[in-house]
Amino acid sequence: MHLLDYRLNIVPINVFIDPQYPVEKAIITHAHADHAKPGHKKVLGTKETLEIMKLRYGKTCAGEFQYINYGQKIQIDDVSITLYPAGHIIGSSQVLLEYKNHKIVVTGDYKTKKDTTATSFELVKCNTLVTEATFGLPIFKHPDPNKEVRKILDSIKINNDKDHLIGVYALGKAQRLIKLFRENGFDENIFIHGALNKICNYYEDKGINLGKLKMLTKDSFDIEPKIILAPPSALKDRWSRRFKKKIISQASGWMNIKQRVKQSLIEIPLVISDHADWNELTKTILNCGAENIWVTHGREEGLVHWCTRKGLNAKPLSIKGRDEEI
Amino acid sequence: MRRYSLEKFARLLENIIYSPSRNRKIELLVEYYKQTNDPDRGFAVALITNSLKLSSIRSTNLKQIIKSKVDPILFDLSYDYVGDMAETISLLWPFKKKKKLCTLSYFINFFHENSKLQVEKFLVSQLDKASTTERWAIIKLFTGGLRIGVSEKNAKVSLSKFGNVNLDQIEKIWHGFSPPYVKLFSWLEKGGPIPKIDILKTFHPMMLADQIDSKNDFRKLSPDDFEAEWKWDGIRVQLIISETETVIFSRNGDNITNSFPELRFKTNRNVVLDGELLVGGNLNPGSFNDLQQRLNRKKVSKGILQKFPAFIKLYDILFQDFKDLRSMKFSSRREILENWFNSNKQENLDLSSIIFFENWKDLTKVRNKFLQSSNIYEGIMLKKKNSIYHNGRPKGMWYKWKRDPKSVDAVLMYAQRGHGKRSSYYSDYTFGVLDGKNLVPIGKAYSGYTNEELDKLDKFVRKNTIQKFGPVREVEKTLVFEIAFDSISKSKRHKSGLALRFPRISKIRWDKSPEEIEDLKRIKDFYKLS
């Protein structure tokens, strides 16, 4: 009997990991919308993950919430479940399943690079690794994020009459970027689109100091040139028309592909990602000691090929509708 | 300054492709000229304007090299994903240590002076020392076309800004120089007299005509001030005839001499002429379609030569025996042209005739009569008798009075975002007509509307989207456009089987219902294209 099937259902106990449709019991690895769906009867996850779900979907988005800490083992019948930090965003976790001497780790979304807004990734030894593959091609090698944010800090000095609009996802990326600005010596106001407000406040409440933030309101559009963070969709749309002199930027792992940058009309691409790049993915696969690798969530084919060349048992695990980075 | 020259060029290219605005691109170029020495900056201009090609190495050679360095399957998957060879290779190239690269000019000279094998070795050594962006720029240099959105015109504008000279002055001498344009840069930087160029080897930018507004302009213009000629439906050319050779340039300055081996002329005096290249026997022009059989052909077969012989109708004269006639008035130039023509009569050469008329009403009658009876005219040209020959499109000097546009009612099917200032607007429209019960697209238009109309259209698209395909939105098929176009022809490339020439929106018919749009069969019947 399988322990885990292709839908990430833990078969012996009928618990799903990040299910796309409402189920009885779910483990949620992190609070991004393509992993955390509302409507489950019972959800298990880190405190942060579940709190953000409540913040976004409302207090009744699941029937029952069960918080667990990293490293805290939970036993359900013959299966024991432990969450380990994934380094992706606040509260993000990998799931370790232990069943009859077999260890499976589901990484969820993860990165191993430094990020002071999330608990650092922890390598967990296992027999089978279910890994994400958002950047599962060797073209993806994320540079030092400090170097990336300095592109903006350099540009605001030269283009001091222009607003710098940066496209970021509201949860995780936005706060990490703000933190990076602070760590690189920028302590002035950073303006945020209304859609980012709630989550930024949440991070602050959790003791992650983001410095001086101002929500952009009708009255503050035309004040001094500024750094503005907004969801990527807003940058390309009517919302951005109100800024007369502006430079458009975006922070994402895709930004290392020039064609893509050009097509999206982005002037300053910031290659900053919350996902593991090719080197991180392959290193994790080698170091975790697993002989079976299931690849999901992204460019599976390349990573499966690489694993096979290394003599590992690898296969793609297709989960529909999960591709783009969040 | 000479150090890090290839690095600087790579950064320039990267900054340019990321700049959505034309002005910003131009600023970047000006900044680059200031910080770069000769001949590197001139080579940069040549590469950007596609006037210089490094062709000894092809991207397939490079593909082989990279496939020996990285897993070929991972390469193929990556290439599939990225879609651009230069970029894929630059991202996959095993990174060693960043080291100083050679200068741009050293790089280019090496390509020209060495064998393919040596060039390949040299290239690999440079790629090994480069950063990802530098590798991308280096590979872009010879995989054909930088495609960074800088036209030759914009490059000239940047040069005029750099040297603080008039764009006209640059246009006049531009074609007299070749890469790396050292003399040109020296003049731009240090001033002094305008550098001399070889008149008989150089394309001289052409004078173009404004579209006439037949409702308003005639009231203001006096018929006595103008000469009228036919506007022939061929291609405008510049013809340089010297004792030793004939050179033919297209209106963009491309040398097309070799495509027309029958057009070799003799002369008693060196001349630079302006005319129309047409196809047809006995100096009788055929259709534009006939002409197309002769365009973009490197080799011309005997059969084609016999079936579609070319000839030239002369409009104007720019130089005679190194004397610049461009500052003379049109009527004087015409006299000189006629004299030259009469003393140099020869095969495949004709003179564009002047149409006599008393007043505008007169001319209108002539126009209507001839345009209706024949397809060979595109319209009438009106040239002010005292107009000097000025490159570009000087106001109020020459007018083209084209055939009235044809029009068709079509329905909006898809919309796409524009570029630059229009990037937040759905400003590019695909429209279609009925084909039986279905709709079939027949063209694309992105002009003809006012800013207020664009606002409205943008709102319409957003409200009526039924599907999105990347940047393209499919809309409810309810909005009718009246589309104007210059001509229509059969086309195998389009699903509808028709191609419109210069389609634009002439009216937005908010009032019309989509049942009233045109039918493909009726269009084909009407224009006799079935």
Q: Which two tokens stand for residue B271?
A: 């001349």
Sign of CA dihedral B276, B281, B287, B288: negative
Greatest extent of chain A over all pairs of C-alpha atoms, in Å = 65
Answer whether residue A300 shows pLDDT above 80.
yes
pLDDT for B75 equals 95
Looking at chain A, which runs of residues are DSSP E strands? 9-10, 15-17, 25-27, 40-45, 62-67, 73-76, 79-85, 93-99, 102-106, 128-133, 163-167, 190-192, 213-215, 227-230, 246-251, 268-270, 292-298, 313-317
Judge contact between B362 and B226, C-beta under 8 A: no
Same-domain status, B416 and B370: no
Q: Are residues B380 and B413 in the same domain?
A: no
What tens digit of pLDDT does each residue of A43-75 get? 999 999 999 999 999 999 999 999 999 999 999
In this predicted structure, which of A150-164, B59-73, B197-211, B288-302 has the lowest mean pLDDT? Answer: B288-302
For residues A244-265, average pLDDT: 90
User: Which of A308-322, B37-51, B317-331, B334-348 bottoms out in mean pLDDT, i.e. has the lowest?
Assistant: A308-322
Q: What is the pLDDT of residue B145?
A: 66
pLDDT of residue A323: 40
Percentage of chain B exceeding pLDDT 90? 62
Tell me: pLDDT of A1 over 60.
no
More confident residue, B453 or B3: B453
pLDDT (average), residues B503-530: 85
pLDDT at A320 over 60: no
Q: Do A259 and B92 touch (CB under 8 A)?
A: no
Q: Considering the domain boundaries, does residue B341 fall inside one?
A: yes
CATH number of the domain that B392 lies in?
3.30.470.30
Q: A18 to chain B nearest CA, in Å?
A: 27
pLDDT at residue B40 greater than cutoff 60: yes
Q: Do the chains contact at B19 and A258, CB–CB below 8 Å? A: no
Confidence of residue A319 (pLDDT cuts 50, 70, 90): low
- pLDDT for position B350: 97
Mean pLDDT in chain A? 92
User: Is there a domain that residue B41 lies in?
Assistant: yes
Query: Of all helices (H) and strands (E), which one includes residue B384?
Result: strand B377-384
User: pLDDT tens digits, residue range B214-236?
Assistant: 888 999 999 999 999 999 989 99
Q: Which domain holds residue B449?
A: 406-526
pLDDT score at B374: 80
B50/B138 same-domain check = yes
CA distances to A46, A222, B183 from A72, in Å:
10, 50, 76
Question: Between chains, do A137 and B419 touch, taking CB under 8 Å as contact?
Answer: no
Q: How far is Cα B393 from Cα B207, in angstroms, rounded to an integer?
A: 6
Question: What are the tens digits of pLDDT across the range A130-185?
Answer: 999 999 999 999 999 999 999 999 999 988 899 999 999 999 999 999 999 999 99
Q: Please give the average per-residue pLDDT across B370-398, as a whole number.
A: 91
Q: How far is B92 from chain A (nearest CA, A)?
A: 6
pLDDT at B41 over 90: yes
**B82:A257 CB<8 A:** yes
Asked, for residue B362, whether it belongs to a domain, the answer is yes
Phi then psi dihedrals of residue B279, to 5 deg: -125, 135
Q: Tell whether the model's pLDDT for residue B55 goes beyond 60.
A: yes
Classified as helix, coil or strand, B289 is: helix
Question: Any idea what the CATH number is for the domain that residue B415 is in?
Answer: 2.40.50.140
Given an 8 Å threshold on Cβ–Cβ distance, is A258 in contact with B424? no
CA distance B468 to chain A (A): 14
Q: Model pTM?
A: 0.79
The reply to whether B83 and B98 lie within a common domain is yes
Q: Looking at residues B425-434, what average pLDDT do you find? A: 92
Residue A325 has pLDDT above 70, yes or no: no
Which range has the worst mean pLDDT, B351-355, B357-361, B415-419, B479-483? B415-419
Amino acid B144: pLDDT: 62
Q: Do B87 and A257 touch (CB under 8 A)?
A: yes
- Which has more confidence, A245 or A93? A93
Instruction: Tell whether B83 lies on the interface with A, counting CB pairs under 8 A.
Output: yes
Residue B182 lies in a domain: no
- Sort out which chain B residues have CB atoms less than 8 A from A151's CB and list them: none
> Given CB atoms, is B145 within the 8 Å cutoff of chain A?
no
> Cβ of B132 under 8 Å from any chain A Cβ?
yes
Distance between first and last Cα of chain A: 33
- The pLDDT tens digits for B276-324 are 999 999 999 987 778 878 887 778 899 999 999 999 999 999 999 989 9
Higher pLDDT, A324 or B508: B508
Q: Please judge whether B73 and A305 are an interchain contact, meaning their C-beta atoms are less than 8 angstroms apart.
A: yes
In chain B, which residues have their Cβ closer than 8 Å to the Cβ of A263?
A: 471
**Mean pLDDT of the region B56-84:** 88
**Which residue among B352, B368, B402 closes a domain?**
B402
- How many domains does chain B fold into? 3
Question: Do B128 and B238 fall within a single domain?
Answer: no
**For residues B508-523, average pLDDT:** 86
How far away is chain B from the Cα of A54, in angstroms, using its nearest Cα? 31
Q: Do B74 and A258 touch (CB under 8 A)?
A: no
Is the same domain home to B367 and B219? Answer: yes
How far A20 CA sits from the closest chain B CA (Å)?
A: 23
Task: Tell whether the model's pLDDT for residue B133 goes beyond 70.
Answer: yes
3-state secondary structure B136-195: HHHHHHHCCCCCCCCCHHHHHHHHHHHHCCCHHHHHHHHCCCCCCCHHHHHHHHHCCCCC
End position of a domain, from candidates B99, B127, B142: B142
Judged by DSSP in three states, A121 sits in coil
Q: Which domains does chain A have, with CATH numbers?
A: 9-139+275-317 (3.60.15.10), 145-270 (3.40.50.10890)
Q: Is residue B27 part of a domain?
A: yes
- The residue written with tokens 């209706």 in the block is B372
pLDDT at B461: 93
Report percent pLDDT > 70 for chain A.
97
Do residues B442 and B315 share a domain? no
Question: Can you tell me which residue has the tokens 């793609």?
Answer: A316
pLDDT band at B420; cut points 50, 70, 90: low
Assess if residue B338 is contained within a domain: yes
β-bridge partners, B415: B429, B473
pLDDT value for A236 = 75
Query: Among the ranges A194-203, B412-421, B428-437, B514-523, which has the highest mean pLDDT value?
Result: A194-203
How confident is the model at residue A317, as a pLDDT? 83
Q: In this structure, are B398 and B410 located in the same domain?
A: no
Say whether both B269 and B382 belong to one domain: yes
CB contact under 8 A, A258 and B87: yes
| Nearest Cα residue in chain B from A300 | B77
**Is B129 in the same domain as B9?**
yes
Q: Which residue of chain A is at minimal alpha-carbon distance from B95?
A: A141
B73 interfacial to chain A (CB closer than 8 Å): yes
In this structure, are B464 and B353 located in the same domain?
Answer: no
Domain-embedded: residue B84: yes
Residue that finishes a domain, picked among B142, B161, B177: B142
Lowest average pLDDT, out of A71-75, A110-114, B97-101, goes to B97-101
Residue B266 lies in a domain: yes
Q: Are residues B433 and B388 located together in one domain of the fold? A: no
